[in-house]
Structure 1
Amino acid sequence: MAKGKVSKDDWTMAALRALARDGVAAVAVDVLARELGVTRGSFYWHFANREALLVAALETWERHGTTEVIATVRGTVDPVARARTLFAEALGDEKIAGLEPALAAQTGHPAVAEVVARVTRARLVFLEEVCVGLGFGPRDARHRALAAYAAYLGWLELRRTAPESAPEAQFQDPGAAAALDHLVDMVLAPIGADTTPE
């Protein structure tokens, strides 16, 4: 990357990659400047300090991983297709591998805790909306939203920590689509329904 051509977005994405690798402590201006091939001085064109970079990075994650996904999926009219599209989008190819579990592990930092809490609320509300659209009552929709979100977080953790034991959790695995379909069927099936494939 040429000097002087580094944008604010380049800095925030570098910060998110650092967060995914080693947590909040890894968001170090000097280290990121070396990674981007620029001087430390270029950082100050975009941010007042390291905390401002961290907040901007977290807001970028929130926008790309939640706000934009919800807006896209909400446009799907058919309720079943909407639910499947949401899971496919959420558990598809990660732009930054391991970022979600890394952020969940860093909620001791106030800025991370605030954004993770806001993202979790928004995602659960949307999952409830999706479940209500499928005909579930408010209480059941809430419970299914919680189960779906727990499954999502667990799926990402399996992807990160157990790629050999659970290869189907990997986006590029040949069995990933079938495993994801089964997960969606389990979460969305009526209570007592048999979700065993024929």
Structure 2
Amino acid sequence: MTSRKRLSAEDWTAAALRALSEGGLAAVAVEPLAARLGATKGSFYWHFSGRDALIEAALELWERTGTEDAITAIEAEQAGLPRLRALIVGAVVEHTGEAARVELALQATAAHPLVAPVLARVTRRRLSYLAGQFEELGFPPGEAARRAQLAYTSYLGISQLAHATPGETDLSPAYLDTMVTTLTAYP
């Protein structure tokens, strides 16, 4: 008889987030996750009351790491254009990372009752942060909000394009420079 590793709620949550990034919300299923982790369903039920609780935990982890932790990290950059550039370029370059894959999977299930409020909250937080960065560059609030939306939808579009047709995505320094210049140009 083989001994099994004792898993924590965090282990299950991380595995659920990976499954979500690989196969969407439908991939967050207890039995396949247990098999992947080399655990029993009993281990899962020790930590979670059911699948919905696991999905909620995975969504909280994605929100924290993909938004709040990312914002905290970018705050270390010099304010103004250097920070905004680092934010935009970093997001675009990381378009194939787990956080971006999770976001694409969540977009596909945006109406799900567990997903909708988290996706709305993350989108509002990211747009608000981006708008603040454009305001620091001197754009009035309305224009800053419009440019924030343009930057965010560009990120989502690049992520989708890279996912659907990977060979068609130009992430060269010249492209990224054009993107930042376009987003920050005064009319």
TM-score by length of 2: 0.90
Aligned residues: 183
Which of 124, 127, 139 in structure 1 is aligned with 2:127?
124
Structure 1 counterpart of 2:5, one-letter code = G
> Contact 1:69/1:89 (CA < 8 Å) preserved in 2?
no
Q: CA deviation at 1:23?
A: 2.2
Which of 92, 95, 98 in structure 1 is aligned with 2:98?
95
> Contact 2:162/2:168 (CA < 8 Å) preserved in 1?
no
Unaligned stretches of 5+ residues in structure 2: none
Cα separation, 1, equivalents of 2:185 and 2:76 = 23
The equivalent of 1:172 in structure 2 is none
Structure 2 counterpart of 1:115, one-letter code = V
> Contact 1:100/1:156 (CA < 8 Å) preserved in 2?
no
Q: CA deviation at 1:106?
A: 0.7
Structure 2 counterpart of 1:181, one-letter code = D
Identical-pair percentage: 45
> Contact 2:18/2:98 (CA < 8 Å) preserved in 1?
no
Higher mean C-alpha deviation, range 28-37 or range 96-105: 96-105
Unaligned stretches of 5+ residues in structure 1: 170-174, 192-198
> Contact 1:29/1:50 (CA < 8 Å) preserved in 2?
yes
Cα separation, 2, equivalents of 1:149 and 1:55 = 24
> Contact 2:30/2:51 (CA < 8 Å) preserved in 1?
yes
Cα separation, 1, equivalents of 2:99 and 2:131 = 27
Q: CA deviation at 1:36?
A: 1.0
* Pairing 1:178–2:170 present: no
Q: CA deviation at 1:6?
A: 2.5
Q: CA deviation at 1:58?
A: 0.3
Where 2:167 maps in the other structure, the secondary structure is coil
> Contact 1:101/1:156 (CA < 8 Å) preserved in 2?
yes
* Pairing 1:112–2:115 present: yes
Q: CA deviation at 1:40?
A: 1.1
- Structure with bigger helix share is 2
